[in-house]
Amino acid sequence: MSIFDFTRESISITKPIRLIELFAGYGSQAMALKRIGAKFEHHRVVEFDKYAIASYNAVHGTDFPTMDITKVHAEDLNICDTNAFTYLLTYSFPCTDLSVAGKQAGMSKGSGTRSGLLWEVERILTEIRDSNGELPQILFMENVPQVHSQDNMPDFRKWLDFLESLGYTNYYQDLNAKNYGVAQNRERCFMFSFLGEYNYHFPQPIPLKKKLKDYLEDNVDEKYYINNEKADKLIKQLIDNGTLPQHNLDRQTDRQTDRQTDRQTDRLALTEQSISHNREKLRTVSRQDMTVEYQTCGQMETWLLKDMGETAEKQIDVAVTLRARDYKGLDNYGSNGVIEWKN
């Protein structure tokens, strides 16, 4: 607990909320407000993707057009009469260049990355300040934890400093959905910024009462699946209307097949080499001295290669993954194999 906790007033929202969503997507933050029973109105929505905004309008019963964040200005947000309304501005900017699943190109100002669109929010808030306009009382951001990783921390720190220069008090923390009643292992960074000196604590975790299987349906209508016939029909339509050139598709398919064959050959050779080495090592160990790891390793190798039909690549993937994960000798390979195998 900080010393400021004793001097700052706890945040409390008593006025109707006007919601401004930048990078809105389908409106997950608006949905969250609905789920907790908050009274709010959809004041402004900024979303560039036409399919996302179509989903937003369908979900929330609104009629917002697409908007490009780079073309939005202070007056477009129409923030006024903050004595009567609480303006909540959300800006969960793209994580494309921050996520470990992407190229991790970062979010530096002027970088041209999608994650760098964060600084468009800086521009808009600066316009409000310089025009003596009224700033939104609450800002909210959700993004991947890498937003404050070692590589991105300098830029994140610049963002925090900017908000503080406007008079905001920032609170951020990484939270996992599984700790808040959702059957999903999804960790994200959440940040609130309050205009003024306010105290805030993130909610405490709650027990997870349901698992994913509790949400899955036993019988799913066939219309939700794409079978081979439908897939072939869709591809033909794309070729016929020129969206997918046939020669490009053929070349891409050939390249994919070649790469897959090469990977399978490499994996099989690598796995067989490892198995040959390990079996030779097993022969040097007497039965009474053989550990559980050694025994299980031999069993696992037999299992991995016993059926080289449709599951061959999956089995080889498992073997190579284990070797790459912790290649410190046969013991670790074998014990890791036990974990993979039993799971």
Catalytic residues, by residue number, are 95
Give whole-number Cα distances, 268 to 98, 139, 331, in Å.
Answer: 34, 53, 21
Say which amino acid occupies 104.
Q
Instruction: State how far the Cα of 194 lies from the Cα of 168, in Å rounded to an integer.
Output: 5
* Two structure tokens written together for 4: 């400021």
Give whole-number Cα distances, 262 to 11, 270, 281, 302, in Å.
Answer: 59, 12, 29, 23
* Two structure tokens written together for 24: 């809105």
Instruction: State how far the Cα of 256 lies from the Cα of 70, in Å rounded to an integer.
Output: 38
Instruction: State how far the Cα of 18 lies from the Cα of 65, in Å rounded to an integer.
Output: 18
Buried-state track 226-263, b at ≥16 Cβ within 10 A, e below 16? eeeeeeeeeeeeeeeeeeeeeeeeeeeeeeeeeeeeee
Instruction: State how far the Cα of 321 lies from the Cα of 62, in Å rounded to an integer.
Output: 48
* Two structure tokens written together for 342: 């039993």
Instruction: State how far the Cα of 58 lies from the Cα of 62, in Å rounded to an integer.
Output: 7
* Two structure tokens written together for 185: 């292992």
Find, among 160, 68, 49, 146, the residue nearest to 105 by Cα: 146
